[in-house]
Amino acid sequence: MAALDPPLAPRPTVAGVPARSPRSLNGAFSPSPRPPPRRAVGGERAPARCRFRDGVASRGGRRLRTVEPLEYYRRFLKENCRPDGRELGEFRATTVNIGSITTADGSALVKLGNTTVICGVKAELAAPAVDSANKGYIVPNVELPSLCSTRFRSGPPGEEAQAASQFIADVIENSQIIAKEDLCVANGKLAWVLYCDIICLDYDGNILDASAFALLAALKNVQLPSVTINEETGLSEVNLKQKNPLIIRKHPVATSFAIFDDTLLIVDPTAEEEDLATGTVTIVTDEEGRLCSVHKPGGSPLTGAKLQDCITRAVTRHKEVKKLIDKVIKSIKPK
C-alpha cells in the first residue's frame, strides 16, 4: 500500500516464468512489490522482529502456546518483547485510506496490524432539538459483525459493540472534535445530522484505537453542500456544486494499553493479548496534550505513576497519528 509498509516476500518462479507481484489496490498486477495506492494512503513501517521469538519457537513454543498461553507470553515479556516480534512499547504497522466509500459524504479505512476498521459518514438535514435550537447532531455507531471474528455473533449489537459505541460518543463529546453549533443551518429550523457508522472488517484487538482513528480521518474527509432557506417558501435549498469541509476543532487520538500480571504495560494489544491481560486502559489526548478521556473497564488498578506513563506515551502516539493523517489529507485533491 504505502512506502512505509513492510516489503512482501517475492513469489517463486514456475518453469522459468517470472512470478507476478501481488495485486495492487485497483486489482491489476503491478511489476513492483509496492503497487501505487488507488487513493490517499499513509502508513508506518512494521517494527523489527525480536530474536528471542525464534528461540521459543524452536523449543516447542507452539505447544506451550496452546496449553499454557499465559506462560508462553511471560517468557517473551521477560525479554521485553512479544510473540509477534514487537517490543512492549511498539505499535503495529498503521495505515489509513481516506475516501474509501464513494457513496458516503466522508469515509476512511484504518488498519492497525490485522485489525481493520472502516468508517462512513452520512449527512442528513433535520430539525434541531427544542432545547438546543442552534446545534446539530453527531450519531456514532460501532458494529462488530460476525464476519470480523468468530467471537461475535449475528443479531443485535453485543456488549463489546455497545461499549465501543459509547466510548466513541464520549470521545466526541469530551474532546469537542466538532462544535455542534457549526452543524446548525438555520436557528431553530434546520441542522445537519452526521451518522458515523464504524464497522470492523477484521478484529485482532485494540478496536477502540482503530475506531477513533477511522472516525477522525472520515470526519476530515466530509464535504457538506451549501444549504440556504428560501424566505418566500420556507423550504431548504441545497447547492450540491458548492461544498465545504467540516470545521474540525480538535483531533482526539486514542492509545490503548494492556496490563499483564497487574504491573506490566504493553501498548496496542492484539486480541490474544487482551484475553490474557489482567486489565486494559485507553487514553485519549488532543493536539495540545490535553487529556480528553480515560477508559478503564475494570481489571487491575493502575498507580498514579503508571497512569502518568500511559499519558506520556499517548501524547507521543498522538503526534505520530496526527502527522500521518495530515500527510494523507494533503495528498488528496479537493472535491
Residue 115 burial (10 A CB sphere; 0-12, 13-18, 19+): buried
- In one letter, which amino acid is 328? V
- Is residue 134 in a domain? yes
Domain count along the chain = 1
Residue 239 lies in a domain: yes
The answer to whether position 267 is within a domain reads: no
Question: For residue 301, which amino acid is it?
Answer: P
- Residue 142's domain is classified under what CATH number? 3.30.230.70
Shortest CA distance to 204 belongs to which of 270, 258, 157, 266?
270
CB-based contacts of 103, cutoff 8 Å, min separation 6: none
Supply the range of the domain harboring residue 197. Answer: 94-250
Residue 294 lies in a domain: no
Q: Is residue 10 part of a domain?
A: no
Q: Is 210 contained in some domain?
A: yes
pLDDT at residue 232, rounded to an integer:
77
DSSP state of 17: B
Do 79 and 86 contact (CB within 8 A), yes or no?
A: no
Handedness of CA 21, 22, 25, 27 (dihedral sign): positive
Cell of 52: 528471542
Give the alpha-carbon dihedral of 154, 160, 166, 170, to 10 degrees.
Answer: -140
Return all residues near 117 (Cβ < 8 A) that are at least 6 apart.
109, 110, 198, 199, 200, 201, 207, 210, 211, 213, 214
Query: Which residue type, as a one-letter code, is found at position 77?
Result: L
Asked, for residue 234, whether it belongs to a domain, the answer is yes
Does the predicted model carry a pTM greater than 0.85? no
- Evaluate whether residue 179 is within a structural domain: yes
pLDDT in tens, the chain (335 residues): 443 444 444 444 434 433 443 333 333 333 444 444 444 445 655 555 565 554 555 456 677 777 788 888 888 988 989 999 999 999 999 999 999 899 999 999 999 999 999 999 999 999 999 999 999 999 999 999 999 999 999 999 999 999 999 999 999 999 999 999 999 999 989 999 999 999 999 999 999 999 999 999 999 999 999 998 887 787 888 888 899 999 999 999 999 999 998 889 999 999 999 999 999 999 999 999 999 999 999 899 999 999 999 999 999 999 999 999 999 988 875 54
- Say how many C-beta atoms besides its own lie within 10 A of residue 152's C-beta: 18
- What is the distance between the alpha carbons of residues 135 and 193, in angstroms, rounded to a whole number? 10
How far is 40 from 48, CA to CA, in rounded Å? 26
Question: What is residue 23's DSSP assignment?
Answer: B
